[in-house]
């Protein structure tokens, strides 16, 4: 005999409530399959990978600038000659009593998400391959860094002083105001 509520409605039996484990496994399997197909297809789009690489470079430039201000020492972000990455170099080796900061380094050939991205050119006022920040965090040189991936490019412009960063040809329109 079915269970009834106080107002006469029929209540679901315990077997009719919720989902079975099998039904949940089927749903999880479908979600996993969809994600396994969709995520690689999303990152196969060149503009997505290149846009994220440009945003990551801007974040790393800002991190290097903040490191210079925090440590009170000149800090540089140096770009490798082969165009495969960059690393922050600073004068913190001799600083005592300061907290050890996480290194800023990126090697596109080792990073699966950015594999194939290259630093095509580094054009700075100092003529070198390093963006320099003074001990107070001011950018010493203005210039442009061009990233490339599958025939597309993104140009990151650095302004002298506050170090304002802009990404040209950006699909996100990202820009910041420096320090």
User: pTM above 0.85?
Assistant: no
β-strands 75-79, 85-90: how paired? antiparallel
Residues found in the chain: 179
Tokens of 41: 């297809």
User: What sign for the dihedral angle of Cα 111, 113, 117, 119?
Assistant: negative
Q: Are 147 and 117 contained in the same domain? A: yes
Q: Are residues 109 and 87 in the same domain?
A: yes
pLDDT one digit per residue (tens) for the chain, 179 residues: 555 656 666 655 655 677 889 989 999 999 999 888 877 666 565 567 888 899 999 999 999 999 998 888 999 999 999 999 999 987 554 444 455 667 788 998 887 778 889 999 999 998 999 999 999 999 998 999 999 998 889 999 999 998 899 998 887 777 776 65
100 domain-assigned = yes
Same domain, 32 and 72: no
Give the CATH number of the domain where residue 113 resides: 3.55.40.10
Number of domains the chain contains = 2
């Amino acid at each position: 005999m079915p269970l009834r509520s106080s107002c006469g409605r029929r209540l679901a039996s315990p077997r009719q409530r919720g989902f079975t484990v099998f039904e949940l496994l089927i749903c999880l399997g479908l979600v996993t399959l969809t994600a396994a197909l969709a995520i690689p297809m999303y990152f196969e789009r060149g503009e997505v990978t290149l846009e994220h690489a440009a945003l990551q470079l801007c974040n790393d430039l800002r991190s290097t600038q903040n490191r210079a201000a925090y440590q009170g020492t000149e800090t540089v972000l140096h770009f490798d000659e082969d165009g495969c990455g960059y690393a922050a170099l600073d004068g913190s080796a001799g600083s005592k009593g300061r907290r050890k900061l996480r290194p800023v380094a990126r090697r596109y050939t080792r990073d699966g998400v950015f594999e194939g991205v290259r630093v095509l050119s580094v054009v700075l006022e100092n003529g070198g391959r390093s963006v320099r920040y003074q001990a107070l965090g001011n950018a010493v040189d203005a210039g442009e860094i061009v990233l490339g991936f599958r025939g597309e490019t993104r140009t990151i412009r650095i302004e002298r002083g506050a170090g304002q960063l802009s990404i040209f040809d950006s699909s996100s329109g990202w820009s910041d105001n420096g320090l």
